[in-house]
Structure 1
């Protein structure tokens, strides 16, 4: 309600910008501020309150409107804080100034702002309502979706501040009804976000050929982690998951590095890892040439990977094939990595050929305790390689040599698979796997360039790789 006009003798009337804000003397306030615009956000000496704090707390509606509409050289600080960390909206809420609270909220005042004690405007509005039995400011804040579950520094929500007794029943019903509505809304929002994240994961997995068991495991992890995220959004307390360290076993070109990158994105997406960074290292990145060099070198790489995934490729190279009297520096590097695997700050993936990786597994008694997931990457079939080729052609980046090019309709998955089966040996496919595809496509483009004449004006012909181009490109690579 607008305060009555100041009836004090002229000699005792306020003369400062804060005094006019308190008394509601709009004319005097306007005159003083227009004469000195620097007073717009002036803090008073005791409480460090701006004119907006004071006018909001005293329900000086016209002055609040004037300040919010201010067009002078200075910009109004809507979220200015006083000595208690309270914003103007806090002041309106704690004093039950519903009209000024509406004005501030309509102009975008931050409804979840926290004072030094952690209290939001809703906490303070509840306190005022308990004293005055007036719920209007609480209702206004709830209309703007103030969070009923926010805790102050004592771990108390606005509902927790309600005192037992008949006087607070109306207020309790109002808050609890709104709290239930918020929980339902959050559940719907969380469900929508979860579906979007799962869709994003499925999109990533669709670009991985084969590896069905591993993709099933990734889906299990993703669903469990996202459900935990949803549980927490509903205020439920559940134990934190720690992603396991892994070993990827298989020949080169079977997709181990690509899967590690997808896993990094997944673990970051669901909040398990703070970054999606995958730091790829080999023996040369970890092992020094002299005594005392390996430890610091390995620790630098571990620090670089912290918060993400450390991907140790060809990890078996850290362990010598034959035992010797002298300790190999690779073993020292492995021990450094093992020492941080229980910290929860990093996920480690060891990758390499299946058979040599047995040396790593047996080299350290703590390896199998820490590395609990082993995934075998099978060699790609000719059909798998054909699918990879099609995926690459459909997802070329602008920086790629093949950007803008396309396959002729005759280059079906079945036709390209038959071509690969015919032009390569099992041993060649086993040695190269997915590594066969990029050079095959680059060669095919070069064959296309040689085949097309300068007089060709057909855009389609200039950009279309045929089955014959792929065949010649593959022959160049394998013969």
Structure 2
């Protein structure tokens, strides 16, 4: 069933389309109403080459990527219509509102695929390829700007740390690699995911191990490895139980609470006493539980051991 907005958009009757879109009556006109084929008014405008009606619908918020029952977007229909009429105005209108040339319909066809299935249209081909080039340039500039901003933020964080120059260089080099991977993906290149290694921080008290761990949490979120910069600090007493059967669940609970962030085990060496004087010490069980969960998706564990001189 067609709505009045479908009909007026399909005939490019801009005055009626405008009247319906601004209707203040008790029942609002549905901008995304669908006919029996799942087509919205924008589909009808695109299919019939009604560029003015399409622009008006888009200006009022019509969904440019709406899909009909056959999976076609308005751009699919506009490309086919342009091939028949050799008029690219509707296609240009949709592209002005960031219509995606790579969306596939139910047959696996993108709007670009239809170029080879109709009469040759030099203007349409040039328009679509110009749009793809411009979009590629825009993504490149955007990716570069975002990478620079993130690196500037990281360098500022590192400047606040006194000393530890070698560590700063390592973190900076690692972050640059991760950000460059993100930039390559934004440009459409295939980049294998880097596996972030678990870490042990060694050093005397007051050397900044906890501070670096918190900075690392921010860094991992910044480069997109983790969804949050949360750093959960735990000690032996947070993990080890007093009786048989307590340590495993207690350790798992603490680790799951930190999911998506970093688990920072302070004084990790205390989980295993240097001299075993008590057969009922459950530190080893806590360590085994940690080891079994270290590769859980979206969960990173970083162990901190303090070494006395």
Q: TM-score, normalised by structure 1?
A: 0.59
User: Equivalent residue for 2:143?
Assistant: 190
Kindly report which structure 2 residues correspond to 1:408-427, keeping only aligned pairs within 5 A, or say none: none
CA distance in 2, matches of 1:247, 1:153: 51
The aligned length equals 309
User: Equivalent residue for 1:322?
Assistant: 275
2:60 corresponds to 1:111 = no
Q: CA 1:165/1:219 → structure 2, altered by over 3 Å: closer, same or farther?
A: same
CA distance in 1, matches of 2:213, 2:69: 44
Contact 2:247–2:285 under 8 Å retained in 1: yes
User: Equivalent residue for 1:336?
Assistant: 289
Greater mean alpha carbon deviation, residues 170-179 or residues 65-74? 65-74
Contact 1:159–1:176 under 8 Å retained in 2: no
- Structure 1 vs Structure 2 CA RMSD: 2.7
Q: CA 1:249/1:197 → structure 2, altered by over 3 Å: closer, same or farther?
A: same
CA distance in 1, matches of 2:120, 2:294: 56
Deviations 1:105-164 (A, max 9, x none): 233434344556654432332233334433221111123333334455666542234325
Contact 2:147–2:179 under 8 Å retained in 1: yes
In the TM superposition, residue 238 of structure 1 has moved relative to its aligned partner by 1.0
Compare CA radii of gyration and give the structure with the larger one: 1
Contact 2:83–2:118 under 8 Å retained in 1: no
Kindly report which structure 2 residues correspond to 1:201-280, keeping only aligned pairs within 5 A, or say none: 201-280=154-233
Q: CA 1:172/1:345 → structure 2, altered by over 3 Å: closer, same or farther?
A: same
CA distance in 2, matches of 1:327, 1:54: 80
Greater mean alpha carbon deviation, residues 246-255 or residues 139-148? 139-148
Q: CA 1:218/1:289 → structure 2, altered by over 3 Å: closer, same or farther?
A: same
User: Equivalent residue for 1:9?
Assistant: none
CA distance in 2, matches of 1:81, 1:254: 65
Q: Name the SS of the counterpart of 2:200 in structure 1.
A: strand
Structure 2: runs of 5+ lacking an equivalent? none
Deviations 1:191-244 (A, max 9, x none): 111111111111211221111122112211221111111111111111112221
2:55 corresponds to 1:102 = yes
User: Equivalent residue for 1:410?
Assistant: none
Structure 1: runs of 5+ lacking an equivalent? 1-43, 356-429, 431-479
In the TM superposition, residue 293 of structure 1 has moved relative to its aligned partner by 1.1
Deviations 1:80-128 (A, max 9, x none): 5566665432332233221211111233434344556654432332233
2:245 corresponds to 1:295 = no
In the TM superposition, residue 248 of structure 1 has moved relative to its aligned partner by 0.9
**Residue of 240, 243, 258 corresponding to 1:305:** 258
Which structure exhibits the higher relative contact order, with contacts defined as CA atoms closer than 8 Å and separated by 6 or more residues? Answer: 2
Q: Name the SS of the counterpart of 1:280 in structure 2.
A: strand
CA distance in 2, matches of 1:245, 1:133: 59
Q: CA 1:330/1:234 → structure 2, altered by over 3 Å: closer, same or farther?
A: same
CA distance in 2, matches of 1:154, 1:251: 64
Contact 2:49–2:82 under 8 Å retained in 1: yes
Spell out structure 1 runs of 4+ moving beyond 6 A. Answer: none
Contact 2:83–2:119 under 8 Å retained in 1: no
Contact 1:149–1:179 under 8 Å retained in 2: no
In the TM superposition, residue 350 of structure 1 has moved relative to its aligned partner by 0.5
